[in-house]
């Protein structure tokens, strides 16, 4: 197989700004990089209808998409893209960019963390027979972030805008379209399309009837490209690859494959793994996303992860580093103290209105170090429960990648291997979504040159990471999980059998 030399770039447009990495197409080595925050661009008169709904400002998260282009230009200034032959685009999932029949923006883009559509999501779920109906149709149950839920919200709250909507793009779709010079053809990819609520990773087809159910009429939807299929060329001749959503791009940048799972430690938790088929889950606990390589990316989410650590740290008058140091003064099992970390209710298991709790408090266990360790064990046991949902459906897990700054905490690294029961991979901090976009660009460039990997992306040097083995802590990890499960089942019997 011939692999030609070249330089490629990957850009990731997040909620805060744009990161650009320029890489060697052969090895993936980062040659240079840039970053710029999204500038404040006036939203325009289209926001007036939003303000009049009375929705709390904290729930309204929207932006003028021109900000994405402006920050891209700033991030790529001073010749950053000189010599680049292909560009890949990653962007935040679930954003809604609504256009009219002439391709003009109807209203500001609603971002993934806009919370206004939660009631609309609940109503849509009921209208298709509950979670099982949606899981069978498209592999996911409507949630507030999904475009299908946002369309229903618009139909109810901004009917004039909703009537003008003729097509819907995701943030990465819109950026690709702009880079290509706004051609007649609009494109997306499997990964990002699988997060819309109206495209099925199992069938590879849109469900236009679900768009009509949400919005009241049909819209034009972008063509879904294969993983290495190019979207086109810029007016200057640069190849633009299909692009994808940020989670899919991060998986590609990390180099995860079958047997790998990723646990993302944010305020909430996300657990996903690479699998050979879409998993249809009638309870809706597993979301059937697609990845950026042609495989599938089943996802389980929790509402609570690092927020449980931060809450405990505040209660004990310290920070995360101090909480970690405290926890390491305790022993596995936290001297019998168990924390159920359901501070914001919980999605997995389905307990939306519950609260967290501390159990097993005795006079001898009421010490800061035991409470601190219980917070780490509770958070990780909750995520291990989510991972078990994938294992029970046949997903092989031979190692777990920990993403997020909390993965660097010594207490997390001490507890996680035994709780998860497999080696833990802690990658060094990097812009993995942008790296994944660049790797996809290299794949598309190779295919254009006739030297493509037919099934797989090009092999790049692995990112630097540390591996933490379960070692002698594995038996104690099993005991910790048994202790946690006993409290969970006593407090919320049968919760894992309930649909979200």
Do residues 416 and 468 lie in contact, with contact meaning Cβ atoms separated by under 8 Å? Answer: yes
Token output for 138 = 């498209």
pLDDT of residue 51: 42
Extract the runs of DSSP E, i.e. beta strands, from 330-385: 338-340, 357-359
Tens digits of per-residue pLDDT, 278-326?
A: 998 998 899 999 999 999 999 999 999 999 999 999 999 999 999 999 9
Token output for 292 = 């950026």
Of 1-5, 30-34, 262-266, 283-287, the least confident? 1-5
pLDDT of residue 55: 60
Q: Provide the pLDDT confidence category of residue 494 given band limits of 50, 70 and 90.
A: confident
Token output for 121 = 């999501």
Token output for 338 = 């168990």
pLDDT of residue 450: 79
The single residue listed with the structure tokens 């004039």 is 160
pLDDT of residue 112: 92
CA angle 132, 133, 136 (to 5 degrees): 80
Token output for 339 = 């924390």
Query: What gap in Å lies between CA 42 and CA 18, rounded to an integer?
Result: 19
Do residues 128 and 198 lie in contact, with contact meaning Cβ atoms separated by under 8 Å? Answer: no
What domains does the chain contain, in order, with CATH numbers? 7-249 (3.30.420.40)
Query: What gap in Å lies between CA 270 and CA 309, rounded to an integer?
Result: 16
**Count, residues in the chain:** 500
pLDDT of residue 313: 98
Portion of the chain with pLDDT greater than 90, in percent: 84
496 or 259, greater pLDDT? 259
Query: What gap in Å lies between CA 161 and CA 155, rounded to an integer?
Result: 8
pLDDT of residue 473: 62
Tens digits of per-residue pLDDT, 333-369?
A: 999 999 999 999 998 998 989 999 999 999 999 999 9
205 C-beta neighbours (distance < 10 Å), count? 12
pLDDT of residue 47: 42
pLDDT of residue 468: 84
What are the beta bridge partners of residue 263?
271, 402
Of 281-290, 384-393, 491-500, the least confident? 491-500
The two most distant CA atoms of the chain are separated, in Å, by 72
If we measure between CA atoms, which residue out of 386, 427, 436, 422 comes closest to residue 272? 386
DSSP 234-252: -TT--EEE--EEHHHHHHH
Q: C-alpha distances in angstroms, 461 versus 48, 260, 443? A: 50, 17, 15
pLDDT of residue 52: 44
Query: What gap in Å lies between CA 248 and CA 461, rounded to an integer?
Result: 19
Q: SS3 breakdown of the chain: % helix, strand, coil, rounded to 5?
A: 35, 20, 40
pLDDT of residue 5: 59
pLDDT of residue 48: 40
Tens digits of per-residue pLDDT, 415-451?
A: 999 999 999 999 998 999 999 999 999 999 998 887 6
Q: At what angle do helices 208-215 and 118-127 cross, to 10 degrees?
A: 120
User: What phi, psi does 437 have (nearest 5°)?
Assistant: -65, -40
Query: What gap in Å lies between CA 481 and CA 420, rounded to an integer?
Result: 9
Question: Strand, coil or helix: what is 133?
Answer: helix
The single residue listed with the structure tokens 């030609």 is 4
As separate numbers, helices (DSSP H) first and strands (DSSP E) second, the chain gives 16, 24
Q: At what angle do helices 208-215 and 147-157 cross, to 10 degrees?
A: 30
Query: What gap in Å lies between CA 467 and CA 444, rounded to an integer?
Result: 31
Tens digits of per-residue pLDDT, 17-38?
A: 999 999 999 999 999 999 999 9
Query: What gap in Å lies between CA 493 and CA 309, rounded to an integer?
Result: 25
Q: Provide the pLDDT confidence category of residue 2 given band limits of 50, 70 and 90.
A: very low
Token output for 168 = 């819907």
Token output for 399 = 């190692």
Report field, pTM of the whole predicted structure over 0.85: yes
Q: What is the mean pLDDT of residues 143-164?
A: 97
pLDDT of residue 371: 98
Segments in 141-238 forming alpha helices (H): 147-157, 159-164, 171-179, 190-193, 208-215
- Residue 3 in this model has a pLDDT that exceeds 50: no
Tens digits of per-residue pLDDT, 460-481?
A: 987 778 888 886 666 667 899 9
Token output for 176 = 């690709």
Q: At what angle do helices 432-448 and 246-254 cross, to 10 degrees?
A: 80
- Residue 59 in this model has a pLDDT that exceeds 90: no
Q: Which residues are catalytic?
A: 246
Tens digits of per-residue pLDDT, 205-253?
A: 999 999 999 999 999 999 999 999 999 999 999 999 999 999 999 999 9
Query: What gap in Å lies between CA 146 and CA 164, rounded to an integer?
Result: 20
- Residue 499 in this model has a pLDDT that exceeds 60: no
State how beta strands 97-99 and 167-169 pair.
antiparallel
Token output for 142 = 């409507």
Tens digits of per-residue pLDDT, 111-134?
A: 998 989 999 999 999 999 999 999
pLDDT of residue 332: 95
Tens digits of per-residue pLDDT, 156-180?
A: 999 999 999 999 999 999 999 999 9
């Amino acid at each position: 197989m011939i692999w030609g030399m070249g330089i490629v770039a990957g850009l990731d447009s997040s909620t805060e700004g744009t990161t650009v990495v320029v890489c060697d197409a052969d090895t993936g080595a980062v040659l240079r990089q840039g970053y710029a925050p999204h500038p404040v661009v006036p939203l325009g008169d289209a926001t007036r209808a939003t303000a009049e709904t009375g929705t709390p400002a904290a729930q309204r998260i929207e932006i003028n998409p021109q900000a994405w282009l402006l920050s891209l230009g700033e991030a790529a200034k001073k010749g950053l893209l000189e010599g680049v032959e292909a560009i890949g685009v990653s962007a935040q999932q679930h954003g809604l960019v609504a256009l009219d029949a002439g391709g003009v923006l109807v209203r500001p883009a609603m971002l993934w963390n806009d919370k206004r559509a939660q009631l609309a999501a609940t109503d849509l779920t009921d209208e298709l027979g509950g979670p099982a109906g949606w899981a069978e149709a498209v592999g996911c149950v409507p949630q507030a972030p999904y475009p299908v839920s946002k369309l229903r919200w618009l139909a109810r709250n901004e009917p004039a805008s909703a009537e003008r909507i003729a097509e819907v793009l995701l943030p990465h779709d819109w950026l690709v379209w702009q880079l290509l010079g706004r051609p007649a053809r609009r494109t997306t990819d499997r990964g990002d399309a699988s997060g819309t609520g109206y495209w099925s990773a199992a069938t590879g087809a849109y469900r236009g009837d679900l768009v009509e159910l949400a919005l009241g009429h049909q819209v034009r939807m972008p063509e879904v490209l294969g993983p290495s299929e190019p979207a086109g060329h810029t007016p200057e001749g640069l190849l633009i690859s299909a692009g994808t959503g940020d989670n899919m791009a991060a998986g590609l940048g990390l180099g995860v494959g079958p047997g790998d799972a990723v646990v993302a430690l944010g305020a909430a938790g996300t657990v996903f793994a690479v699998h050979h088929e879409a998993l249809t889950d009638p309870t809706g606990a597993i979301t059937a996303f697609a990845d950026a390589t042609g495989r599938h990316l089943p996802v389980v989410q929790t509402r609570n992860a690092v927020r449980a650590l931060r809450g405990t740290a505040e209660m004990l008058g310290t920070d995360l580093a101090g909480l970690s140091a405290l926890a390491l003064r305790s022993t596995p099992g936290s001297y019998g103290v168990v924390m159920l970390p359901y501070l914001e209710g919980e999605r997995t298991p389905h307990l939306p209105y519950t609260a967290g709790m501390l159990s097993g408090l005795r006079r001898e266990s009421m010490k800061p170090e035991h409470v601190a360790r219980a917070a780490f064990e509770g958070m990780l046991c909750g995520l291990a429960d989510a991972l078990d949902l994938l294992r029970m459906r046949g997903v092989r897990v031979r190692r777990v990648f920990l993403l997020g700054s909390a993965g660097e905490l010594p207490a997390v690294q001490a507890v996680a291997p035994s709780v998860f029961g497999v080696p833990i991979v802690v990658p060094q901090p990097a812009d993995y979504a942008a790296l994944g976009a660049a790797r996809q660009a290299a794949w598309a460039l190779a295919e254009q040159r006739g030297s493509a990997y037919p099934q797989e992306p090009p092999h790049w040097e692995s990112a630097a990471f540390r591996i933490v083995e379960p070692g002698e802590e594995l038996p104690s990890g099993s005991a910790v999980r048994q202790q946690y499960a006993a409290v969970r089942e006593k407090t919320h019997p049968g919760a894992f059998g309930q649909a979200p």
